[in-house]
Structure 1
Amino acid sequence: MTKLLPYSIFISTFYYLLSATSILAHGGEVPEETEAVAMTTLEDSIRSTSIKVVIIASIIILAFIVLTVLLKHFGEGLKKFLFAGVVIPTIAATLYMVGSTLYLNFTSSSGGPVHWHADLEIWDCGNKLDFVDPQGISNKVGTSTFHEHNDGRIHIEGVVKEKDEASLGKFFKFVGGSLSTDGFEVPTNNGQITRHNNDTCQNGDMGTLQVFVYQTRNDVFNQQKLNDPASYVLTPEGNVPPGDCIIVEFGKEREKTDKLCNFYKLKVKTGEIKPASEFEQPTDLNLNESGTQEEDLNHGN
């Protein structure tokens, strides 16, 4: 029996290390509550279940290790039983985590974990809105895969199971809001801000929900107005630009917006990108007050 003890400890240690690796493969962190989550993804569910499996298996393994020490003078048959009590939960939990990771990677539209970004600005009758401040260690609003850090940036970090999970409408749901052709709901520090088409702005203008997206190809960007903003799928890019700049604007209806995300402004100033036409040349290249240092975003989260 005492000869089995080192093997039991080795197996349990190996199992803990493998568990940590598998959890990282599911997104890099233990799930925790994030602010304003209205819906979750399959990856979040599997990650949460994996943690429960690890905890249950760990309790069983530790219990059998304790029994191995306490019952070390018993016969060979009991030794085999106790050893199996360590090995079986280790194998079962490992198979679940490895299998679920492989399933997600092979069946996902993204083909595995991704790290995409898009910049987002929301304007309500000329006033810029910010999502509710994130709380806790996670420092995020949304899910582990789809979230924002109150930095004006959409973060997609993990496995995208279905393509439409990366849509603008789904992102608003992930952070506890909503977006449609009729209006939006935005969770802020001042509560939920809701606007519908034909609501009146403070200046008397009849408001309309409009969404504009800037896309960059070969260092040239253009602007388009979205007919169905909720179904728009973000461009799969890690940096912005070439990742999207999305302007959600409630106000007087127009064909083009004069708003532009900070990182697009920076790249225009440095000459790294240019508009497709003079008509799309931004007139205001001053950074918004909520702008963040470029290195923090494009080389950080």
Structure 2
Amino acid sequence: MLLVTGITGHTGRYFLQELINHKYEGPIRCIVRETSDTTLLDNSGLIIEKVIGDLDDRNFIDRVMDGVETVMHIYNIYHSPTIVQAAIEKEVKRVILVHTTGIYSEFKYASEGYKKIENKIKELKNDPNYSTNITILRPSMIYGDLCDRNMSRFIKMVDKLKVMPVISGGKSLIQPVNARDLGKAFYTVLMSPKETNGKAYDLSGERPIRMIDAFKIISKELNKKTVFISVPLSLGVLMARVLKTLTLGKIDYIERVQRMGEDRNYSHDNATNDFSYNPMTFEKGIQIEVQEYLGKYKN
């Protein structure tokens, strides 16, 4: 039995599509919300058991672990320690956790929580009863559809603004990863236990790219003539703090602005070496997303 969390989410849907494409034969138990769109699940042709529940409920997690051999935990890194604890107690053979390269951020409040989670998992692995193999996958900035929280916002900004401010000239490096590539990677890792058990992988895009170059590619795909002006990081952070104050904390972009000033490029060589991870170029991936945007808002 394969247990999956987050299968109806952004990257989860692409993992499901890989299961469908490869005609996965085993039973799959999927944790979903009452409000989840399960159309793709229902029409998948796979052996699917849908379970409605709350991952904050430890008793629920214990129940859904019964009979499970492998867990693919895609939804929310903050539930990982509980998932692992339950898996160990239920003698689940294998757990694959989807975490984040945010753990490497130079900003303490951006990475500290993620580090605590992974340290907690290391502690659990020291349990004398531990027999569960754990693999950690850390995607970088995820994009690919208008439902992503990264490039979709930049596409809208470039489309709406003739003059666009860019933090520190957009010199910082990013390495966005397309959700389609993550779906393929999740499936490949699932089917490659010998090569990936007990390891951690950074899953980034094909190559690093400067933020300003990413914006220029988006502008070109939108057929826009955007003027980009450099804004000092300190001014950007000040504006974010003012916005947070004016909205009584409801809009808090401080961390996002600060992270736009740091390089976020990560090697995926280990993933390539161990399971032939080969992500698409940013140019190809952003073209797909821009075309979706144009189809939705311009037709």
State the TM bucket, normalised to the shorter chain. under 0.3
TM-score in terms of structure 2 length: 0.24
TM-score in terms of structure 1 length: 0.24
Which of the pair is proportionally richer in helix? 2
Which of the pair is proportionally richer in strand? 1
Of the two, which has the highest radius of gyration?
1
